[in-house]
């Protein structure tokens, strides 16, 4: 676990951040895969799964946060 990333993720206002993350995931999936509301991605995942996996990748250290940007960016 990346304790620094977990600390930064925990400090976020998730009532504000979660909808922004989901909207980004929706746009990404639509642009990359032609995803539409009510469908799944090619691997059977939903948009919420993509968002959760992205957060988990930072928490585990699989992906690194860029200190030059705010975490929500």
- Does 70 map to a domain? no
3-state secondary structure of 70: coil
- Does 16 map to a domain? yes
Question: What is the rounded distance in angstroms from the CA atom of residue 39 to the CA atom of residue 45?
Answer: 9
Among residues 56, 51, 28, 26, the alpha carbon closest in space to that of 39 is found at 26
Q: What is the pLDDT, as a whole number, of residue 24?
A: 93
Q: What is the pLDDT, as a whole number, of residue 15?
A: 95
- Does 12 map to a domain? yes
Q: What is the pLDDT, as a whole number, of residue 19?
A: 95
Q: Measure Cα distances from 4 to 9, 25, 42 in Å.
A: 9, 24, 33
Average pLDDT for consecutive 10-residue bins of the chain (73 residues)?
88 94 94 92 92 93 88 77
Q: What is the pLDDT, as a whole number, of residue 72?
A: 75
Q: What is the pLDDT, as a whole number, of residue 40?
A: 92
Question: What is the rounded distance in angstroms from the CA atom of residue 32 to the CA atom of residue 19?
Answer: 20
- Does 7 map to a domain? yes
- Does 67 map to a domain? no
Structural domain count, the chain = 1
Q: What is the pLDDT, as a whole number, of residue 4?
A: 87
Q: What is the pLDDT, as a whole number, of residue 1?
A: 81
- Does 65 map to a domain? no
Segments forming the whole domain that contains residue 52? 3-60
């Amino acid at each position: 676990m990346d304790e620094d990333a977990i600390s930064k993720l925990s400090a976020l206002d998730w009532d504000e951040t979660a909808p922004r993350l989901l909207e980004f995931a929706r746009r990404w999936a639509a642009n990359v895969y032609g995803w539409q509301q009510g469908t799944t991605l090619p691997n059977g995942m939903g948009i919420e799964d993509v968002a959760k996996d992205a957060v988990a990748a930072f928490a585990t250290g699989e992906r690194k946060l860029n200190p030059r940007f705010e975490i929500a960016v």
